Structure 1
Amino acid sequence: MLIFLMLVVALIVSIFEPLSRWSSLLSSNGAALILLAVSLYNAQRICQWRAEQFSPSLKPEEAAVETEPPTIYQRLAALIPINFNRINAVLKSDGIWLASMAAFVLFVALAGWGTRFLTLDEGNLRWFAVGVIALAMFATLVAERHLAAIVNEAWPEAKFIAPIVRLTLAVQFLTLPGLIFPTANLALLVNLPAVLVVLVGIEFLLRGLFSLFTPPKDENAEPAFLAKSQLAAQLVWPPRPLLFLQHELHHHFGIDLRQLWAFTVLRRAFLPVLTVMLICGWLLTGMQQVSTTQRGIYERFGKPVAVLPSGLHYGLPWPFGQVILIENGQVHELAAGEESDTPAEPLAGAEGNAPSSADRLWDAIHSFDKAQIIASQSDSQQSLQIINSDVRFMWRIGLTDNAALAATYHSTNLPELIRTTANQVLVHQFSSLTLEQLLSEQRNELARQINRAVQQKLDSLNSGVELLSTVVEAIHPPAGAANAFHGVQAAQISAQALISRERGNAAQLAATAQTHATARQNQAQMNATDVTSKAQSTAVRFAAQKQAVAQSGQVFVDELWFNQLHQTLSHTPLLIIDHRIGANTPPTIDLREFPSLNEAPAKPTQESSR
């Protein structure tokens, strides 16, 4: 009932508070009590066998019992070449029972195993538990002393049960530090009782399984005591592992190591040799190896005296001298909006899908985005606005010795210091800018300003951190307002496109009108130039003719008249009749066309001129 109550309480505690150390302590103590109960149960079965063997019950009067013929089921079972009786005997054997119980013990002990535990609350509950464990330890100690005092002839199994009782006492004793020191969250301190139980449980499991391969004993032979542990038998003070080995060799092989001179010398020289080895090992703690990717800060009596490069170095042994290893040029990436307890994102395969950090859509919520309050102006009134920004910093510990010392001793959490400093700078940087300015401003220039401001603040804190670059991955409105902002952006783009289109049409019309005006102006200038040139040439010709008339008289006039007449009649067939035929008759030009002899006569036409 006690074991059942402890397991139920441990189960309830693990359901409501998985990180509580109560479930681990109750599970380990319950598992130790299960081992003790298994050992006692095995001893009880052997005692019952002895009682039945040496104190048989009165035999009933012999009565003649007629043997019934076998049934049809028994006949069918006899035809199957399987020995069910043998299988049933194996399943009911002590080895299977011990192995199954050992597996249950391992399950109970490992169910309370943990790597991180919460701090216990200050109260009277843990002190009440300490008092109960102290009383249980006293009762267990009395039982162990009583079993150790029983002689072998009175109860042979007492010497095998006593180590299991000591194991229970050790588990109860190791439970006390986890209750007395509530702030000690060392996982080994809480899990140490379960370690002992797991080791003994594994031994019980192996003993139960190996017992199945031992040759069967006579039915009248005494059953073997399987629920014993050689590991639990070593829980004595002072520990005597060599004595246990000597006893086993003498018992199984008849070899007495006490008669060997070499082992006698080894036993006498054991402590001096062990002391020399411990001193040499302690001196070797002063030798430190620094890898090529690290640097070492050497502390002498707790004071840093030098920064060691990669290589092998020797100093004072621990605890007078020690080396603290730090990074040597490793580059880290940090997002300003990422929380400190956020698990690292697994690496994406080269041929697989892109990681979630590569998603830059505005309408998706990202864990690495940081909300910022910026300035806003609407209807000539100032207000506030919220945006999400993803700003990433590439940083490392400075390569100088002073930077290494500052990064080690001036800050306990460099990523948190950089994240806090960056958030302060981002708040100051974004407070005076509007969303339109942030979206239209060059990101490279903004990243340089942020990098410069964060580096100056880190230098003022003497953090030893060197910022290699700052990358502004994204600046956008919150995910809930992304669709509305997309609509506003689409309207602005449409308005700007319409304005640009109308400006293009106006420019095209103006250019066309300018082209037409220029063409007409050029045509007018060309016509005016042509008329002027003709007038000038006519004037020059008239002046020349006037001068020729003045010099040559009627001769020039007749020559000019004949020239014009020649030009006019150059393509017309002429029949010239000499004017001297008639004295008083002027020259006559006959422009008539006479048909040939083959053509019909036509109506005659006549033109004359003077």
Structure 2
Amino acid sequence: MPWSNQSGGPWGQKGGSDKGDKTPWGSGGNGGNNGGGGNNNQPPNLEELIRQSQDKLKNIFGGSGGGRNGGTPAKPSLGGKGALFIVLAAVVVWLLTGIYTVRPTEMGVNMIFGRYTGSTGEGLNYNLPYPIGQVIKQDVTTQRRTEIGLGNRDQRNTLGESLMLTGDENIVDVSFFVIWQVDSANVDKYTFTLADPAETVKVVAESAMREVIGRSNIQSIITTTDQSATAQKVQDTIQQALDSYGAGILVRAVQVSAAVPPAQVREAFMDVNAAQQDAVRAQNDAERDASQIVPKARGEAAEIIQKAEGYKAQMVAEGTGQAVYFKDLYAAYATAPDIIRQRIFLETMENVLKDSNKVILDQKAQGAGVLPLLPLAQPDARK
């Protein structure tokens, strides 16, 4: 100990009444009364509290030393019970450090001596602490983004990661990104299989895009209407490759940001693309007009057909009636030819002259020979 029980600590001798024996508060202690301060206005005697604590520790560890009245305390010696108590306390504290918390967005990967033993979900969990056990927490809900060909343009041209060869031997500049996350069902594979998951996804995505571009022609790649199909093919290819590696990664989406020809021939390709879009627009307009005109024309055709069928039925009925009429007329003519001939003449002249203006001249009359117009065949106004 830095001071003895008789020394009174660093501030002087204990319990003395000498004015030179002072506590940190400026006056001597009166340890004979209550072991505390010299009077009611002073704080407790810290020396006495320290001394009492030392005595208790000595009792626990089995040590012995000098009392208050003098003598230098002997070095404490640890007994068997005290050492066992310290060891057990240290083991309990060490075991308690194995309690850990997993957030709702995470999963814990437990290891014992570096060997995978299982995964844990959200909440309080336990694993043997370091150095025997270890827990790696992985975020399984955050969606990560890996970009290919979206960096600085000079850097892109240097790396060449965005320039790809198409199936018809053209070069296209493709920029895209991949959205992926950790597969919660295979979090152990994600933890132990890949050293750099983001770089692995980037390399696999670039390889998959080159494979799909190499099987397609440039027109289908640079046309915006076909880029979604290209992105879906790339996503399927990336997922198959990562599954074969046992990467424990789920590919959520692949989005093509741009697919354009190289700068040297870009204007010509843009003209071709614009012409194709105009052709699609004209085709859509034609289909819209056809959807309006064709039903109308079909309705008019059906109306004409119905009128023709009605006219046909009318003509057939009239022809049938006239045939019956002529048969009856012929039978009557056979019995009285003169009468029937005269009747036919009169009926014919009636049909010819009924709608024309008529002027009757009498050749035997003297003078002009014009007779007044007779109102023949005038319709009855009452009808």
TM-score category, normalised to shorter length: 0.5 to 0.7
Q: Does 1:557 align with 2:338?
A: no
Q: 1:316 aligned to 128, 149, 155, which one?
A: 128
TM-score norm. by structure 2 comes to 0.56
Question: Structure 1 residues 405, 436: closer, same or farther in 2, change over 3 A?
Answer: same
Structure 2 CA distance for aligned equivalents of residues 492 and 562 of structure 1: 78
Structure 1 CA distance for aligned equivalents of residues 285 and 133 of structure 2: 78
Structure 1 contact 376–385 (Cα < 8 Å) conserved: no
Cα distance, 1:374 vs. partner? Answer: 1.9
Cα distance, 1:429 vs. partner? Answer: 1.6
Q: Does 1:386 align with 2:172?
A: yes
- Structure-2 residue corresponding to 1:380: none
- Structure-2 residue corresponding to 1:260: 47
Structure 1 CA distance for aligned equivalents of residues 191 and 264 of structure 2: 42
Q: Secondary structure at the match of 2:184?
A: coil
- Structure-1 residue corresponding to 2:108: 296
Q: Which amino acid aligns with 2:204?
A: T
Q: Does 1:331 align with 2:143?
A: yes
Structure 1 CA distance for aligned equivalents of residues 282 and 137 of structure 2: 65
Q: Secondary structure at the match of 2:104?
A: coil
Q: Which amino acid aligns with 1:292?
A: P
Q: Secondary structure at the match of 2:209?
A: helix
Question: Structure 1 residues 290, 554: closer, same or farther in 2, change over 3 A?
Answer: closer
Query: How much is the aligned-residue C-alpha RMSD, in angstroms?
Result: 5.2
Q: Secondary structure at the match of 2:165?
A: strand
Counterparts of 1:221-236 in structure 2 under 5 Å?
A: none
Cα distance, 1:483 vs. partner? Answer: 4.1
Q: Does 1:373 align with 2:164?
A: yes
Q: Does 1:408 align with 2:191?
A: yes
Cα distance, 1:290 vs. partner? Answer: 1.9
Structure 2 CA distance for aligned equivalents of residues 480 and 252 of structure 1: 89
Q: Secondary structure at the match of 2:108?
A: strand
Counterparts of 1:61-140 in structure 2 under 5 Å?
A: none
Q: 1:476 aligned to 257, 260, 275, which one?
A: 260
Counterparts of 1:35-54 in structure 2 under 5 Å?
A: none
- Structure-2 residue corresponding to 1:397: 182
Structure 2 contact 149–161 (Cα < 8 Å) conserved: yes
Structure 2 CA distance for aligned equivalents of residues 548 and 498 of structure 1: 73
Q: Which amino acid aligns with 1:604?
A: A
Cα distance, 1:280 vs. partner? Answer: 5.0
Question: Structure 1 residues 278, 573: closer, same or farther in 2, change over 3 A?
Answer: same
Structure 1 contact 293–328 (Cα < 8 Å) conserved: yes
Structure 2 contact 102–121 (Cα < 8 Å) conserved: yes
Deviation per CA, 1:365-394: give whole Å up to 9, x if none.
Answer: 99xx951322375xxxxx44132232x323
Structure 2 CA distance for aligned equivalents of residues 326 and 499 of structure 1: 53
Cα distance, 1:564 vs. partner? Answer: 5.4
Cα distance, 1:458 vs. partner? Answer: 0.8
What count of residue pairs does the alignment treat as equivalent?
Answer: 284
Deviation per CA, 1:461-506: give whole Å up to 9, x if none.
Answer: 111112233333432234675444323434566688899999xxxx
Counterparts of 1:147-158 in structure 2 under 5 Å?
A: none
Cα distance, 1:263 vs. partner? Answer: 1.2
Q: Secondary structure at the match of 1:386?
A: strand
Structure 1 contact 373–430 (Cα < 8 Å) conserved: yes
Structure 1 contact 374–432 (Cα < 8 Å) conserved: no
Counterparts of 1:532-551 in structure 2 under 5 Å?
A: 541=326, 547-551=331-335
Deviation per CA, 1:428-487: give whole Å up to 9, x if none.
Answer: 221232210213463343233212211111111111112233333432234675444323
Cα distance, 1:552 vs. partner? Answer: 1.0
Cα distance, 1:301 vs. partner? Answer: 2.2
Question: Structure 1 residues 329, 266: closer, same or farther in 2, change over 3 A?
Answer: same
Structure 2 CA distance for aligned equivalents of residues 394 and 475 of structure 1: 18
Cα distance, 1:574 vs. partner? Answer: 8.1
Deviation per CA, 1:546-565: give whole Å up to 9, x if none.
Answer: 55343113333344455556
Structure 2 CA distance for aligned equivalents of residues 564 and 384 of structure 1: 89
Structure 1 contact 406–462 (Cα < 8 Å) conserved: yes
Q: Does 1:436 align with 2:219?
A: yes
Question: Structure 1 residues 433, 276: closer, same or farther in 2, change over 3 A?
Answer: same
Question: Structure 1 residues 488, 300: closer, same or farther in 2, change over 3 A?
Answer: same
Deviation per CA, 1:308-334: give whole Å up to 9, x if none.
Answer: 222223333322222221123333233
Q: Secondary structure at the match of 1:389?
A: strand
Unaligned runs of 5+ in 1: 1-238, 240-245, 343-364, 378-382, 503-507, 509-514, 576-587, 593-602
Q: Does 1:604 align with 2:368?
A: yes
Structure 2 CA distance for aligned equivalents of residues 432 and 419 of structure 1: 20
Q: Secondary structure at the match of 1:412?
A: coil
Cα distance, 1:395 vs. partner? Answer: 1.8
Deviation per CA, 1:335-359: give whole Å up to 9, x if none.
Answer: 23357xx9xxxxxxxxxxxxxxxxx
Q: Which amino acid aligns with 2:368?
A: P
Structure 1 contact 295–325 (Cα < 8 Å) conserved: yes
TM-score norm. by structure 1 comes to 0.37
Question: Structure 1 residues 399, 500: closer, same or farther in 2, change over 3 A?
Answer: closer
Q: Secondary structure at the match of 1:472?
A: strand
Counterparts of 1:450-465 in structure 2 under 5 Å?
A: 450-465=234-249
Q: Secondary structure at the match of 1:260?
A: helix
Counterparts of 1:191-270 in structure 2 under 5 Å?
A: 253-254=25-26, 260-266=47-53, 269=57
Structure 1 contact 372–427 (Cα < 8 Å) conserved: no
Question: Structure 1 residues 315, 591: closer, same or farther in 2, change over 3 A?
Answer: farther
- Structure-2 residue corresponding to 1:101: none
Q: Which amino acid aligns with 1:605?
A: G
Structure 2 CA distance for aligned equivalents of residues 290 and 561 of structure 1: 119
Looking at secondary structure, tell me which structure has more strand per residue. 2
